Chain A
């Protein structure tokens, strides 16, 4: 049982390049989330999904897109990277019991945009 995994672990991009971050979970969780973590700001929710084929915007969705084609995978895309998107990105998942669920986090992806 690997839990929540993220690929890649680290990536350097040039401004304007695109990339996709992959999150996978093997716990059969319904809900999945993408966060970014910046110093002194805690976690901010980018997008989330409450089930296969559904996505919704979080607190800071601009510049990102997501897809949940399979229940176990949640992809985060950057179409045209900007230096402001330099951050650590965390994926999380939960069973989906509204209000009471514990979120399980992946190890993170460090992204540097030059």
Chain B
């Protein structure tokens, strides 16, 4: 069965430091992987996606993510955190072998950037 795990409920980082939000997945076939961000009282916004090609994917607001097939991971990273990055981050996966048009979502990780 397809699944996504975000092992950390919350990540605390000081402003200016690098940040990592972890995501691991389990699918039968090849994965399509996504990161979305949710600011308070708002809907989710797309950050970046991996479909194929270069394992390092660059997205909005200076974020990037690295696809690691052997570790089945797709961690979100940013070299220098901003206070405005504080939000809820969701990882999602779609299995190429799955005929349903559904994304499987992680439970979310709350990112807190402290000044």
Taking CB atoms, residues of chain A closer than 8 Å to B41 are: 107-108
Least distance between B16 CB and chain A CB atoms (Å): 29
**Hey, what's the 0/1 contact readout for B75-110 against A, CB within 8 Å counting as 1?**
000000000000000101010100001110111100
**Hey, what's the 0/1 contact readout for A38-60 against B, CB within 8 Å counting as 1?**
00111111001010000000110
Q: Does A74 contact B (CB under 8 A)?
A: no
Instruction: Find out whether the CB atom of A104 lies under 8 angstroms from the CB atom of B46.
Output: yes
Contact of B42 among A58, A103, A107 (CB under 8 A): A107
With known contacts A40-B107, A45-B102, A48-B101, A103–B46 Cβ distance under 8 A: yes
Least distance between A9 CB and chain B CB atoms (Å): 9
Q: Does A34 contact B (CB under 8 A)?
A: no
| Chain B residues with a Cβ closer than 8 Å to the other chain, count | 24
Residue on B nearest A104 in the bound complex, by CB: B46
Instruction: Find out whether the CB atom of B103 lies under 8 angstroms from the CB atom of A42.
Output: no
Contact of B101 among A31, A42, A90, A107 (CB under 8 A): A31
**Hey, what's the 0/1 contact readout for B14-50 against A, CB within 8 Å counting as 1?**
0000000000000000001010100001111110010
Taking CB atoms, residues of chain A closer than 8 Å to B96 are: 99
Instruction: Find out whether the CB atom of B108 lies under 8 angstroms from the CB atom of A42.
Output: yes
The 9 closest A-B pairs by CB, nearest first: A105-B43, A42-B105, A43-B105, A42-B107, A105-B44, A102-B46, A107-B43, A106-B43, A99-B32
A-B contact pairs, 28 of them (CB 8 A): A4-B43, A40-B107, A41-B107, A42-B90, A42-B106, A42-B108, A43-B92, A43-B103, A44-B105, A45-B102, A48-B102, A50-B101, A58-B102, A59-B102, A98-B101, A99-B32, A99-B94, A99-B96, A100-B49, A103-B44, A103-B103, A104-B46, A105-B36, A105-B43, A106-B43, A107-B42, A108-B41, A108-B43
